[in-house]
Amino acid sequence: MTTIAYPGTFDPITLGHEEIMRRSLRVFDKVVIAVAHGAHKEPLFTLGERVAMVEEATAYSERIEVAPVVGLLADFLASHNITTLLRGMRSVSDFEYEMQLADVNRRLGKGVETIFMAPDTDHIYVFSSVVREVAMFGGDVSHYVNPSVADKLNQKLAAQNIHNAKSVG
């Protein structure tokens, strides 16, 4: 049985992430979505909220498991007996960053390999940070995230009083 981990901060999960998850099931028996705490990014959503959004988006398959990563990704992989990571490689601009991450995870994970999947061209320019920014200024995010995530994004921004920031100033 082949098990792979698909890690990310998923702040929030986008249709690009969802496409990779769906297609990964054609290649691997089990996919563990490793939701990183993302302390390096100061996420908008809490870790629990991001895990819940990914669980909802992937409820269609029993072969997908969703789990939070609190410490190092390499430690998470060791505790789950996983030796292979999956990442999407969208364009040349992703290349350098992804090479760095693959190197860090190979060293810390003592041989953990990273496999890259090419996303559909529809999703090449989807970034979670762009989605957050578009929503913050009241733009339509339906091309980037599923309807439930769009609702949660709007609720979150409204709760934080930063929705429709275009009126600020």
Give CA–CA dist 39/100, Å, rounded. 18
Cα Rg of the chain, angstroms: 16
Residue 25 · residue 63 · CB < 8 Å: yes
b/e per residue 75-84 (b: at least 16 CB within 10 A): ebbeeeebee
Among 50, 87, 90, 163, the one annotated catalytic: 90
For 64, the 3-state DSSP assignment is strand
With 0-12 CB in 10 A as exposed, 13-18 as middle and 19+ as buried, what is 19? middle
Q: Closer CB to ligand COA, residue 76 or residue 163? A: 76
Catalytic annotation present for 132 = no
Whether the Cβ atoms of residue 104 and residue 97 lie closer than 8 Å to each other: no
61 is catalytic: no
Q: Name residue 148's amino acid.
A: S
The distance of closest approach from Cβ of residue 76 to ligand COA in the complex, given in angstroms and rounded to an integer, is 8
Does 73 participate in binding ligand COA (rule CB under 6 A)? Answer: yes
Q: In the set 86, 128, 145, 156, which binds ligand COA (CB under 6 A)?
A: 128
Within residues 9-38, the interface with ligand COA by CB under 6 A covers 9-11, 14, 16-17, 20, 36-38
For ligand COA, the binding residues in 40-69 under the rule CB under 6 A are 40-41, 69
Tell me whether residue 17 is one of the annotated catalytic residues: yes
- Beta partners for residue 49, in sequence order: none
Nearer to ligand COA, 24 or 163 (CB): 24
Cβ proximity to ligand COA: between 39 and 59 the closer is 39
Q: Which residues are catalytic?
A: 17, 41, 90, 128
Residues that bind ligand COA (CB under 6 A): 7-11, 14, 16-17, 20, 36-38, 40-41, 69, 72-74, 88, 101, 104-105, 119, 123, 126-129
